[in-house]
Amino acid sequence: MTDTYHDRIYVDGAWTVPDGKGAIEVVNSSTEEVMGHVPECDATDADRAVAAARSAFDAWSGTDAAERSGLLRAISEGIMSRAEEIGELIAREVGMPLKLSIPIQAMNPAQTFVRQAEILDSFTWTEEAGRAEVVFEPVGVVGAITPWNYPLHQISLKVAPALAAGCTVVLKPSEVAPLNAFVFAEIADAAGVPPGVFNLVSGFGPVVGEAIARSPEVDMVSFTGSTRAGRRVSELASATVKRVQLELGGKSANVILDDADLEAAVTGGVRNAFLNSGQTCSAHTRMLVPRDRLAEVEALAAQAAEALTPGDPLGAGKLGPLVSARQLARVREYIRAGVEEGARLVTGGDDLPDGLTRGYYVRPTVFSDVKPHARIAQEEIFGPVLAIIPYDTEDEAIDIANDTIYGLSGGVWSADPDRARRVALALRTGEVAINGGGSEPLAPFGGYKQSGLGREAGVYGFEEYLETKALLRRD
């Protein structure tokens, strides 16, 4: 692919010249070379996009559900027709190996649009509650602010249900990996999205994102990103008491019980923690293991981690680079902190992988004997760094798992399904994978505590974009 230069944004059904005059460079994470540019919009651009969405809302919210469903299916078909292109683009932007990027970063978003169309096809818009008729209506104009780690996936989890519900959308993608959002806008335009129903503005969070969050014409903000930034979005949105949906950080625990298949649990746990080079908010980055099995766990974890050789995501690399120089510096600092705090380094470290002098690569790293309150056990690292924490009793394992400000995901491994379920129910977290259970696109995704507010995916994500109205009868 050649350098992709975008100098326009998608507002009110047309590619228009932004008021912001700057350009943001997009860097290939595996070569450190500039691979594209997008406009650096300003608050005026955000306000213009919001105004277009507001103007389009009445007509779009009044359309027949079948028309909205048809648009979602057309968008899905458009994504699928460009899946290889999108997969390669995101592999270069983010660093996920291509063999994973195509199904995860491109095909999954396409399926999200189909699933939301199916939910829309069968959704009941009214119900009875005693003498009242309850009516569900779209919430209004939605500001969608998305992250860089699963960029199109997060766009789909917000835009698809919002459009299905009858809302209009202003999208602000991450400035770190925004090129896929411009491909998406091309697809939406080709699918026939009406003017103003979907709008795209690029730029930095403190300028464009904050303009969207504070706008009195925006009825809801859906944000995915760091907990720190989520607090700022909530603060700005509170001034106009708009709805806020947040999907934030995580420090998820993988609880391996003493009767588990140890090899399956440890190997599966390492792969989960290191997916997308650990740049996954729901990654199981704390592995809780019985103390008397610690040596076995360390050997298995080292073997699994060392099999994930860093390298070119478009080539033979099994572990791609981190997304940016800033992220690389952050992860290497956490690895040094783990050593300084006394954790035992099992494999990896903060030095660069052999033979990789360009690209934001880091060695897959495993620490053991990590104290539950150590930084690497409490703070989200967002890199391929696993903390193995020993425990003595099942109750202690549950206490350690819950002793965090986060509550996004988790795992439990046990040969006894009833025992696994009992422990899973004791974890204060939005989802729990039992014995390596995979993701379910119809299940709700979101967290407890400082991992966020609300849920995404399935009917649960669709309902986030609805208001509830009661029509009260006298008889």
Catalytic residues: 247, 281
Sign of CA dihedral 360, 364, 370, 373: positive
| Residue 270 contacts residue 238 (beta carbons within 8 Å) | no
Phi, psi for 270 (deg, rounded to 5)? -65, -45
Interacting residues of 315 by C-beta distance below 8 A, sequence separation 6+? none
Tracing tokens 């996936």 back to the chain, one arrives at 153
CA distance 442 to 80: 20
| Rounded alpha-carbon distances, angstroms, from residue 89 to 32, 183, 382, 444 | 15, 10, 21, 28
CA distance 365 to 308: 11
Helix (H) or strand (E) holding 379: none
- Residue 287 pairs in a beta bridge with 254, 388
User: Tokens at residue 450, please?
Assistant: 């400082």
CA distance 250 to 246: 12
Burial 355-394 (b: 16+ CB within 10 A, else e): ebeebbbbbbbbbbbbebebbbbbbbbbbbbbbbbbbeeb
CA distance 414 to 419: 7
Closest CA to 343 of 366, 315, 310: 366
CA distance 114 to 71: 10
User: Tokens at residue 32, please?
Assistant: 């450190």
- Residue 11 pairs in a beta bridge with 14
Helix (H) or strand (E) holding 49: helix 43-61
Closest CA to 360 of 100, 3, 95: 95
Radius of gyration of the chain (CA): 23
Closest CA to 407 of 424, 393, 419: 424
| Rounded alpha-carbon distances, angstroms, from residue 262 to 193, 283, 432 | 50, 19, 18
CA distance 294 to 45: 55
Tracing tokens 């699918």 back to the chain, one arrives at 191
